[in-house]
């Protein structure tokens, strides 16, 4: 699984760095909402936790700018799994809605790129906390989820 958010914007979509920065400067986080989650723990007899292979992922399912109401929102899915061989021992998936008030912006693409990028980072601590709480309640002692990284935006030329 990949913990690098899908943030690279192609030149085909296109927006300038000044358009993106305008969104970033005007944006105010409105809400982060847990929309759904699932957690499964299937203990494996005789298997040490040190032998589990951990995997993590994040995917932006959708992102939309609403020009009339001047907000941008993303639906983001996070996942983690601990496996021993092919057997999944622990899995956790959660979907969050992230909403930013951004005012009027000149570029829908820049607003959506901002939310795709920053929204992933805004909701991730909530997912880390959810996973830690669920693991603790299940009596599973795993390290905290790792930090996530970002790739740079590629502004359109010109």
Q: Give the tokens for residue 142.
A: 């795993």
Reading the chain (158 residues) residue by residue, the pLDDT tens digits are 445 444 444 444 678 888 899 999 999 999 999 999 999 999 877 778 888 999 999 999 999 999 999 999 999 999 999 999 889 999 999 999 999 999 888 789 999 999 999 999 999 999 999 999 999 999 998 888 888 876 655 556 65
CB 119 within 8 A of CB 6: no
Delimit the domains of the chain by residue range: 17-138
105, two tokens: 């912006």
Class of domain 17-138: alpha beta
């Amino acid at each position: 699984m990949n913990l690098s958010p899908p943030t690279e914007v192609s030149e085909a979509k296109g927006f300038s760095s000044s358009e993106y920065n305008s969104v970033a400067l005007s944006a105010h986080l409105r809400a982060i909402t847990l929309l759904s989650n699932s957690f499964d723990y299937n203990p494996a007899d005789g298997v040490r936790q040190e032998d589990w292979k951990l995997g993590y992922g994040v995917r932006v399912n959708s992102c939309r700018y609403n020009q009339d109401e001047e907000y941008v929102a993303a639906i983001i899915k996070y996942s983690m799994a601990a496996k021993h061989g092919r057997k999944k021992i622990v899995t956790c998936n959660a979907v969050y809605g992230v909403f930013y008030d951004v005012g009027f912006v000149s570029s829908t693409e820049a607003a959506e790129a901002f939310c795709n990028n920053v929204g992933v980072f805004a909701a991730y601590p909530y997912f880390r906390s959810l996973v830690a709480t669920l693991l603790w309640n299940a009596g599973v002692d795993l390290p905290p989820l790792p930090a996530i990284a970002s790739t740079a935006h590629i502004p359109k030329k010109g």
